[in-house]
Amino acid sequence: MRVAIGSDHAGFALKGELCTLLDELRIEYHDFGTFSTETVDYPDYIAPVARAVARGEYERGVVLGGSGTGEAIVANKVRGIRCVQATNPVVARLAREHNDANVIAFGGRIVGTEVAKACLREFLTAEFAGGRHVARIAKIARIEAEEAGH
């Protein structure tokens, strides 16, 4: 599995902790930045992560900011992305199992390091359950295409 990860300045510290976890799990990843706590605009770092996942270059994405909310909004603007903002491991697991989520968002000012790590582990190991959820994902894709004018 390959993971794309990116954050703004407020998510920078938590991103570092999650990159350490990815290293420990021997999961290949690419850090799209930012690379410091200097104030930046989160769309500049989140959109490239989402686009790379949408293109299939990475199987999953991780986006971080102060709250995780704006980051989830940006990621979900990219066609083909289903991003969930997770604050506990059950939400992270169900997002994969029921929604086939491919990006997870965290708020560095909201969720603690250990909770974020537990969420990321669930997000990376849970599989899409298929079944009745396939039709729902197809409906989401149709809505997305209609909104894009396709």
Which residues lie below 8 Å from residue 105, measured CB to CB, with a gap of 6+? 62, 63, 64, 65, 68, 69, 71, 72, 75, 83, 84, 85, 86
Catalytic member of 98, 133, 146, 147: 98
Token pair for 6: 């990116």
What is the distance in angstroms between the CA of the first residue and the CA of the last residue of the chain?
31
Question: Which amino acid is present at 76?
Answer: N
9 as an active site residue: the answer is no
Nearest-angstrom CA–CA distance, 64 and 136 = 27
Active-site choice (71, 97, 127, 133): 71
Q: Confirm whether 98 is a catalytic residue.
A: yes
Catalytic residue list: 71, 98
